[in-house]
């Protein structure tokens, strides 16, 4: 589903170059409480169920234990989905941040408008491979912040390379564009020399001007 949603955001000839998420520490921290609750409820249910005096009520005890354990399972599943659906993406045109399970929030910045990239890694971030990235742009957003992203060095390198590739393509396109005024001047000279007619000159001139 997520890939289908991401594909729907891509423009023509736009492709994903790099995809990352929050570091797994974020997920572990989010579901630590739920895991602890599941273990505690399970242990208490087993201990109570094995108590001789409670034996006649064992089905009720098991039912209560199951009902209690459902809540941390549901909230833990929600945390996993939130983590899985919060993505940081680099395409050949822009850098994107997508989050939300059902309601989606998309923030993107054109690679053309990216001015600077700031990366911050703490001591533990360098050891475990996570960090913060601030993308400074010329757009209204100003700064696009990616917090505790997995493998920030590789993410930053991929973004810089994508920006460089985009600028190279744009430079080639500019260089390959014909000099329209010069071509019109050449056509005018051919008309003066009566190599082409006035009608031919006007038609070719209009065709060239439409390319500006």
> For 107-156, how does the pLDDT look when each residue is reduced to its tens digit (9 = 90+)?
988 898 888 899 999 999 999 999 999 998 876 667 788 999 999 999 99
Provide the residue range defining the domain that includes 204. 180-209
171 is a domain residue: no
39 is a domain residue: no
188 is a domain residue: yes
Divide the 212 residues of the chain into consecutive groups of 10 and give the mean pLDDT of each group: 78 91 92 95 89 83 92 95 95 93 91 90 93 85 85 94 82 59 80 77 82 66
187 is a domain residue: yes
Domain count, the chain: 1
192 is a domain residue: yes
Q: Is residue 74 classed exposed, middle or buried when 0-12, 13-18 and 19+ CB atoms within 10 A define those classes?
A: exposed
The DSSP output letter for 102 is S
132 is a domain residue: no
In angstroms, rounded to a whole number, what is the distance separating the alpha carbons of residues 68 and 66?
5
pLDDT of residue 1: 47
163 is a domain residue: no
117 is a domain residue: no
Q: Where are the beta strands (DSSP E) in the chain?
A: 16-21, 87-91, 94-99, 105-110, 114-120, 130-137, 143-150
Q: What angle do CA 89, 137, 101 make, to 5 degrees?
A: 35
Tens of pLDDT, residue by residue over 161-171, are: 999 888 877 66
pTM value > 0.85: no
């Amino acid at each position: 589903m997520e890939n289908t949603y991401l594909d729907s955001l891509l423009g023509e000839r736009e492709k994903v170059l790099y995809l990352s998420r929050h570091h797994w520490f974020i997920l572990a921290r989010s579901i630590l409480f739920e895991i602890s609750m599941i273990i505690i409820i399970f242990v208490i249910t087993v201990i109570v169920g094995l108590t001789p005096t409670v034996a006649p009520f064992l089905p009720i005890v098991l039912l209560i234990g199951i009902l209690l354990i459902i809540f941390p399972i549901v909230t833990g599943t929600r945390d996993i989905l939130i983590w899985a659906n919060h993505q940081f993406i680099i395409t050949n045109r822009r850098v994107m941040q997508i989050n939300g399970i059902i309601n989606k929030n998309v923030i993107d910045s054109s690679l053309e408008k990216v001015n600077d990239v700031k990366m911050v890694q703490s001591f533990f971030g360098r050891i475990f491979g996570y960090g913060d990235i601030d993308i400074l742009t010329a757009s209204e957003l100003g700064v696009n912040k990616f917090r505790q992203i997995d493998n920030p060095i590789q993410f930053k390198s991929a973004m810089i390379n994508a920006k460089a590739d985009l600028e190279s393509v744009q430079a080639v396109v500019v260089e390959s564009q014909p000099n329209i005024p010069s071509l019109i001047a050449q056509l005018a000279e051919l008309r003066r020399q009566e190599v082409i007619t006035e009608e031919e000159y006007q038609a070719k001139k209009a065709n060239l001007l439409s390319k500006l």
